[in-house]
Amino acid sequence: MNESKFNQLVEETMVAIEEAIDDSGAEIDYDNVADILTLEFSNGSRIIINKQAPLSQIWVAAKSGGYHFDYDESTKLWCLNGDPDKNLFSQLSLYCTQQAGEDVQL
Nearest to 36 by CA among 11, 19, 6: 11
pLDDT at residue 82, rounded to an integer: 87
Residues 6+ apart with CB under 8 A from 62: 47, 95, 98, 99
Topology, domain 3-100: Metal Transport, Frataxin; Chain A (3.30.920)
pLDDT single digits (tens) 57-86: 999 999 999 999 999 999 999 999 889 899
Domain limits, the chain: 3-100
- Record the pTM: 0.92
**51 has pLDDT over 90:** yes
**44 has pLDDT over 90:** yes
